[in-house]
Chains A and B, each alone.
Chain A
Amino acid sequence: MDCMFFLILTAITSNPGTGVIQASVISRPKMISRAECLSESNLLDEIRKLSSGLSQTDFGEMKKLLLGEANQSSICRQRVISAVLSRMKTRPTEQADFLLWQHGADILGDLKAVEAIDHLVAHLDVSDGLSPSMSHYPAARALIQIGSSALPKLANALSQSSDPYFRRKALFCIAQIGGQQAARALKDASHLETDRCNSRFINTSIRAFKNRDFPNQITSRTRAEWYSAFLCRK
C-alpha cells in the first residue's frame, strides 16, 4: 500500500434543526489559411456539445480536438475562441448552462485566451451557487489560468466595480495569479479599497506574498489563513 486516506465517519447523520497551473502548453500557432481550419458546421457541432452532459472522458476528447484545432493557426485559434465565447453569452440559469460555462472556461483557460479576458472579468461572479469555494466560479478559474495577462483588467475591475463581493473575487484571482505585477496591483488596491473584508483580504495576501520560498505567491503554509480572509466571516 503506497498511499492511504484516513477515514473518519464519526456520525452518519447530523441533527436536523436550525439551518444551521499549470495550463496546457500551447505552442504558437503558425499562420495558415482559414481553409485548413475545421469547417464552420463541424466547429459549431463540437461547441454545441459543451452544454450536454458530457462525461469527463468525452469532454477530454472534445477539448483535445478543439485545442488541436486552435493550434493549427492563429485564424483557427481565433475561430475556436469566438465560437466558445458565442456560446457563453448568457449567464447560466440551469445545469446545462453552467456546464457550458464550466467546460467553455476550461478551454479558454487552457488556450490562455487573452481575447476572452473582458468577458471573463465581466462574469467573475457566475457560479453554480452550490458552494462559496472559488472552484465553483468558472470565469475566475479561467482568468487564473490565463495568468498575468489578465492582471490589468482585473486591477481595473477593482477600481470600476461598486460591488465589494465582485471586487473580492477579482482580488482572489490577482493573488492566486501572483508575481510582482500582482503584488503591485494589491498594493494599489490597498489604498483604494473601502470594504473592511476586502481590506483585510488584501493585507493578508500582501503578507502571504512575503515569503522566502515563493515570493509573491500564496504558499501552502499561509493558504488556510489567506482563504479564511477571502471568506471573511463577519
Chain B
Amino acid sequence: MAFSGSYQEGKPNGGGQIRYGSGLAYGVGFTVFGSVSSGGIGHIMKDTNLKNPGGAWTIEQWTSGYTNINGSVYLKGGPAHADLNSTVPYEINGNEFRWYDHPGLEDKDPQSSRNPLKSYEGRFDIAVKVINGAQQCEVKFRISSTFSNGNWSHSWGQLN
C-alpha cells in the first residue's frame, strides 16, 4: 500500500484533493501494489483480465464505509461490499499488479444538497486481497477524512 507519492500524475496518494474536469474530489488516495510468485492475475474481482484470462490469482478490494455529510448519515457502515472492478485505474503486468482509489467526497454539483458543504465525516474500512483458492494475502486499513470549520483533515492506518 502506498499513501505517499502518486499512482501517476493527477492521482496523488495521501490526503488531499484530486481535480477532474470541473469537479474536485476530497479524500485519501492510495495505490495498492504487489505481486504473486507465479500463476499470473486472471481476474479483477469478477472481471476477467483480458491479457491473462487464465491467470490463477484474483485481486480484490472490500469496503465498508460510513459517511456523514452536513449532519446526515449517507453510508451507514455495515457489511463490506465488493469495491473493485475493471472500471478503476489498474495495471497488471504478469505477476505484478497495482490499482488506485480515492475514497472521500466528490464535489461536482453546485445544486446538490451537499452544497454548501458544512461538515463531513468519512470512515472507510478497506481490505485488499490477492486470492488463489485457499491461498491469499490480505491487508486491512482504515481511512478517515473530516471537514469542519472550513478545513479538511485526513488520517489512515493499518487494521489488525
* Contact across chains for B80 and A227 when beta carbons are under 8 A apart: no
Q: Report the minimum CB–CB distance from A178 to chain B (whole Å).
A: 9
Write out, one digit per residue, whether chain B residues 135-160 have a CB within 8 A of any chain A CB (1) or not (0).
11101000000010011111111100
> Which residues, 1 to 55 on B, are CB-close (under 8 Å) to A?
1-4, 7-11, 14-28, 32-39, 46-48, 50-51, 53
* Contact across chains for A7 and B139 when beta carbons are under 8 A apart: yes
Task: Judge if A224 is at the interface, Cβ distance under 8 Å.
Answer: yes
Beta-carbon nearest neighbor of A5 in chain B: B34
**Number of chain B residues whose Cβ lies closer than 8 Å to a Cβ of chain A:** 89
> Which residues, 29 to 58 on A, are CB-close (under 8 Å) to B?
53-56
Q: Report the minimum CB–CB distance from B94 to chain A (whole Å).
A: 10
Q: Report the minimum CB–CB distance from B46 to chain A (whole Å).
A: 7
Mostly, the B contact residues are: strand
Q: Per a CB cutoff under 8 Å, which of B3, B46, B91 touches A224?
A: B91
* Contact across chains for B81 and A129 when beta carbons are under 8 A apart: no
Q: Per a CB cutoff under 8 Å, which of A54, A99, A132, A197 touches B102?
A: A132
* Contact across chains for A2 and B37 when beta carbons are under 8 A apart: yes
* Contact across chains for B104 and A54 when beta carbons are under 8 A apart: no
Task: Judge if A9 is at the interface, Cβ distance under 8 Å.
Answer: yes
Q: Report the minimum CB–CB distance from A145 to chain B (whole Å).
A: 9
* Contact across chains for B51 and A94 when beta carbons are under 8 A apart: no
Please report the C-alpha to C-alpha distance between residue A8 and residue B20 in the assembled complex, in whole angstroms: 26
* Contact across chains for A13 and B78 when beta carbons are under 8 A apart: no
* Contact across chains for A132 and B89 when beta carbons are under 8 A apart: no
Q: Per a CB cutoff under 8 Å, which of A17, A168, A217, A227 touches B50?
A: A217
Please report the C-alpha to C-alpha distance between residue A144 and residue B88 in the assembled complex, in whole angstroms: 13
Please report the C-alpha to C-alpha distance between residue A94 and residue B104 in the assembled complex, in whole angstroms: 16
- Name the A residues within 8 Å of B83 (CB-CB): 135
**Number of chain A residues whose Cβ lies closer than 8 Å to a Cβ of chain B:** 63
Please report the C-alpha to C-alpha distance between residue A10 and residue B84 in the assembled complex, in whole angstroms: 24
Beta-carbon nearest neighbor of B80 in chain A: A56
* Contact across chains for A17 and B91 when beta carbons are under 8 A apart: no
Task: Judge if A95 is at the interface, Cβ distance under 8 Å.
Answer: yes
* Contact across chains for B3 and A11 when beta carbons are under 8 A apart: yes
Task: Judge if A112 is at the interface, Cβ distance under 8 Å.
Answer: no
> Which residues, 94 to 133 on B, are CB-close (under 8 Å) to A?
101-106, 108, 112, 114, 122, 128, 130, 132
Q: Report the minimum CB–CB distance from A99 to chain B (whole Å).
A: 8
Please report the C-alpha to C-alpha distance between residue A89 and residue B153 in the assembled complex, in whole angstroms: 37
* Contact across chains for B87 and A134 when beta carbons are under 8 A apart: yes
* Contact across chains for A7 and B1 when beta carbons are under 8 A apart: yes
- Name the B residues within 8 Å of A140 (CB-CB): 87
- Name the B residues within 8 Å of A4 (CB-CB): 34-36, 137
- Name the A residues within 8 Å of B112 (CB-CB): 129
* Contact across chains for B10 and A231 when beta carbons are under 8 A apart: yes
Q: Per a CB cutoff under 8 Å, which of B16, B67, B101, B156 touches A133?
A: B101
* Contact across chains for B3 and A10 when beta carbons are under 8 A apart: yes
Task: Judge if A228 is at the interface, Cβ distance under 8 Å.
Answer: yes
Q: Per a CB cutoff under 8 Å, which of A11, A132, A168, A197 touches B106?
A: A132
Please report the C-alpha to C-alpha distance between residue A14 and residue B11 in the assembled complex, in whole angstroms: 16
A–B Cβ pairs within 8 angstroms, 5 of them: A9-B158, A20-B15, A102-B81, A176-B86, A197-B21
